[in-house]
Structure 1
Amino acid sequence: MIYYSERTKAVVNRLLQAVVLVYQAVAVVVFISTLTMAGEWLRTPFIGGFFEHTLVLNGSDTSEDDKSWAMYKQGFKVGDQLISVDGTPIVNSDQLSGILNSYSVNDIVNVVIRTTEGVDETAAISLQEFSTADRTAYFILPELLSLIFLIVSLWIFGLRRAEPAGRAFSIFTTSLAIVVGGLFDLYTSHQFTYIWTFALGTAGGSFIDLALGFPQEARVVVGRPYIRWIGYVVGLVLFLNAVGTLFNFDNPTAYITAWQVIYGFVGLSAIFYFGMLFYHALVSRSPVVKNQARTILIGSLIAFGPVVFWLLVARQSFNPYLLPFLIIFPLVNGYVVLRFRLLRTDYWVRQGLVYALLTVFVITAYGLFVSGVALFLPMPSDNPYLIGGLVFVIAIFLEPLRTRLQKFVDGTFFRGQRVYEDRIRTFSHQLTTALDLDSIGRVLRQQITTTLSPDRLHVFTYDPLNDQYTALAGEDGRPTSDIRFASTSPLVQYFQKEKIPLYLDSINPPSILKGDEARLSLLGARLFVGLRSDDKPVGWLALGAPLSGDAYTPKDLDFLESISDQSSVAISRVQTVANLERRVQEMNALSRVSQGVNVTLRFDDVLELIFAQTAQIIPSTYFHISLYNKDANYFYYGFRVDDNERMVSLENRPLPSGTGLGQEIIHKGRPIITQDYPRECQSRNTTPSSQGIYAWMGVPLNSGAETIGALGVGSRDATVTYTRAQLDLL
């Protein structure tokens, strides 16, 4: 196992990003060039078959029903090689296009074809225009798919280029864009045959890269990132093996074997990828990983199911119109890689099953209805009155029927889901009566504890006064944890960037949480579900492992996300009201200070007023007003309160030089804020004025351009921190 320095990781990261970006640039060039060359080729009369780079017939035929291209009508088959056209020997595709450009549609040309048995046969071929249906099937559809794959690749790379999974997926979709978009060039112009072969092998390598890194990094890869690159090395070796066969006219079909080896590698890589997805979907301890794996598997079933059915069950040759289904696979993968939100796969399966049954029922009802009517009143099945009557009946009974089918499906196949939905409805009702954070926390804890039974549960919410996230009180009325997270901590940044829950893997925790590893280890929670809001999270739920010893399921995750969404709204509402009340209190305090200064004559009364109003809006146990006697050149306390008790005996007495941070503020005329008072004093080479102070802040007291003193507050409570907003208020 190798652990690299942060600098090395950053350099490798930038290098890999550059490699992927160059690969994407190549794909863009291939796409644009293919469009240009295809436009020229389509203006050329069609010879009646696709000849590959060694001029062998590749077996592709027209997409029109009950028709065949001219070469196949003459009895030629896959592997037969074009030798000459009208007596002119053909050595490459450019020469073939040049000769065909000298002819017009419906002209007759004599071609010599060398069959796979080595016999040269001559045939008269009538040149035709490449049909609209074939243009759509072999050119328009693949190029449209290639464009979509390119857009998805650039989109994912732009958002997730710093992550291995994002780069692997970008390589995969870029390879798909080249392979699919380069098919027409592979059949016609053969300018990008080498790049197409390389992209095919790279697609297999990216499957292995994805399998080892997403949706969860394999343990074997931890500390060994180079293992993810093994697939690319194999793909490169297979590409180099194929290079010598691609334009070998002495053995024109040798490349087929080399390509078949690459096809086999891609197939095995895909099996490995889907096998890892099945493994994660079945045995992963993380409900997030399970949900992501199942989402990809369902998307893959929709994408590849029609193709597999067509080839294996229907036993038909490949149809280009099956290609659009493949769009679903990279789109679903891209959505999961971007981690916008977890898809509720159970919900979509339930709805799909209901509407499938509803479709079968409506079709069956229509057939029975038409058959029954025909017994008494003969009429065609497309009679408008008959169709109108059926539409009227469907409009009346569709919703009641759908509701009954939904209950039947839920009761038969998804009984557990109904329990969760009942709990969510109960929670929504209870939440309407929760008017403060503690009551919201109690409702949350009650529902989560009774439903999931975690061994520990913390509800963290944002404390705007201290600019940090703290745990709400438990059943004993005390916070469930003393651990606090600053608003800039890595965990908070995670929930600001990501929209999905976080499951901590003790083997390989996310690198983004490196700064919070100690806190998270002490907290002992495994599953974190964010309480989201518009600008920053209002908090999160932190759950330990279930008491049953089982792993959390995607259904548990759906339940937690549903109640967290509702809780976020309630907590945001309570915090908004609390912030408004606090601001009103601050404005009232400032107003009273302003009024008191204008009407109070005694200096000591002014200082008492300032202390009383400051204590109401800023939590503190320490309050000092340090003043400077310019004539006598010494500092003294004009007002001092320690532990909420005024220390009159220490006031109006000269202070030793270098005592407390107040003198530093008076010297420099700038405020100071710190969460570690002793360390701040040590760094400034001053003696602390009091012991046991944690958070401290002070501001200068200015008279015109001159600083005459300093006002400082501090706290002996280690949980109190001061913010920049409080400093501005002071």
Structure 2
Amino acid sequence: MNIYAIPPLLTLICFAVLLALVVTHRRKSRIGRLFTIMCIMGIFLNLDMLYGILMRAPHRALHISRLNHLVLVFAIPVYIQFFHAYLNIHNRKWLERLAYLYAVGLMAISQSPVYLKTMQQHFFGMFARGGPLYPFFGVGGIGVTIYVLALLYRAAGQETRSTQKNRLRYVLVGFGWMGFLHGLNALPRMGISIYPPSGLSFIPLVVFAVGLFRCDLLDMGMLIRKGALYSLLTTSLTCLYALVVTLADRFLTGMRFSNTLHFPLLLFLMVALVFSPLKDRIQKIIDRTFFRHQQIYRRTLRHISRTIVSVLNPEAIGRRITQTLVDSMHLRCAAMYIRADDASGYRQLAGVGGYSPVPSSAQGALRRLLQRWTDRSEPLLRQQLMGDSTTRAPAEMLADMGHLGADALLPLRSGEKTAGFLLLGEKRSGALYVPEDIDLLETLASQCALALENAKNYRKAEELSRDLERKVEERTRQLRKALADKEQTQAQLIQSESLAAIGQLVAGTAHELNNPLATVKSLIQSTIEDLVAASPVEGIDDGMIDDLRFADHELSRARAIVTSLLGLSRQRQTFCEAVQVNEVVRGAVRILCSQNRHRHLEIAQTLETDLPIIEGNFANLGQVAVNLIQNAIQALTGSDGRIFLSTRYDARNGEIIFECADTGPGVSSTLRQDVFKPFFTTKPVGQGTGLGLYICHEIVRKHRGTLTLVNPGEQGARFVVRLPVGR
């Protein structure tokens, strides 16, 4: 076999493999169809070279070359059309039409000697020499190649996304330079004795094939899988082993060594000592070349997926996951979104890089993308959307993902519900997400969803626990307060019963004292009358009579006090007796002045005369007057102070008004609403029951009157009692 036939044979095999991959792939697109045509043309071109190198019949070789050029002349417009479609150039249709017209013109002359004149013998074999008009094809091919290289170079320079920039570089080095090599075939066509440069096209084609699998250059989802490479490696080594066995059997058959036991043993040792280590070595090279970074971040992601389950703070989970993804997978940015508390949408939980947070200008694109992402049980990948022209939605989703700078969205699935999603940017290297990446990320997303669910449940349990503790504390406080109120009520009831008993004792004592006082007073009055009658006759001293009169006056005063005590302590509940309010006030003042004679109190009484008589209970109304005046006396600090008592008749409303005011500290505005409540007191413990004003209020209410605390506008307090005249 001619050694110069090996390069075009390898190039032909590369074109055939690429053609088979594109044809058998399920995803069809305009770019894929144009690429298929280019592969077919590449196969024809290399078949032409092989025929020229291997065949010895010049006329037949020339005829085959001219037939091939019936197809090859259309490489110029197809080449332009492919790169226009790949770079999304839609405003140069005129150039494509012009190129097709140019190709039709070349096709018309391709079978004549003016295009291909004859077969020329070179050191590598025969190669068709161009005629006078062949330079139109050669120059056109070189011009189109330079035009395409310029487009690719400019697009790569303007592209900001690393993924797309890598794709353009692979296309530039692969198909771009392959076209340039094919254009240089014009040199041997013009008679220059050099090896046809297109024979070396397998080199840029290998580069293109690597980019095809690493960056999915044709947007057909053809990414490298480690299992597929290992299977291809195993198949290749098996074929190599079969080839070795076949060659050994062919060349060693008939030799005595081949008929012994040592021959198969030698083959076994060769397999064990050569092929097995060779396979392991090649696998390591594959891993180091294609999957070196994946091995590193897989270990990291597996570790983080095991540790996040123990984290009970959602924000900490989000920060740890996104930071780990950015660091281990070398992403430009990453963000985690979870469902909002009101279930109206999603909120960002954490973000790293350009997603900390996601810019407000990109929020609209994110909302539109989520609306179009209907199947949230599967990841949404940018590379899957590219090349899918079945509907309009993929193009719109691609635009939104481009605005976001996102390459992948992975759902956080918890059972049948989507708890959130991961928004991942592109890799810094520009590499795509291979299927192994997606499998690992889906596992991580499931673990993350479980961790978020655990954290959510823990937070709910914690809130329930705190709420329960608050309720227990509140209930305990209420029980303690109720127990204290009960004890206070019991003490006050005991005190009230004691006071009632004392009141009964005072009533009995006053009643018993009233009789002897009346007797003594009667005797003194009789004695005074006798002495007055006998003094002119017997000359009795007037001083003795004055002393007896003073004693009679003091006895009258003592009897009035006892009468007041007896009237105030009566327990009758009838309200039908006639009551003179002024008498009630005077009786209360007489009692309290006796008790507080050591204090220099000034009690100013302004009692209106001729007040109407009201129907009521004298004892109960006296208790009201005593309590109000007693409170006023107790409110005065020290031994000095003034108390103002007044009565008047309000003829317009038919009410008798009794007012009691003092010059004490008064009652603060915060306590005024509570002064008439039972058991409310501002006095120190043991000095008040908190029932005085409450009882007064109830007594006045039973008399269909009102008892109010009025703000006097200055220091002190002023209580006003209003009692209706008619019942």
TM-score, normalised to structure 2's length? 0.37
Bigger radius of gyration among the two: 2
After TM superposition, the score normalised by the length of structure 1 is: 0.37
| Higher fraction of helix | 2
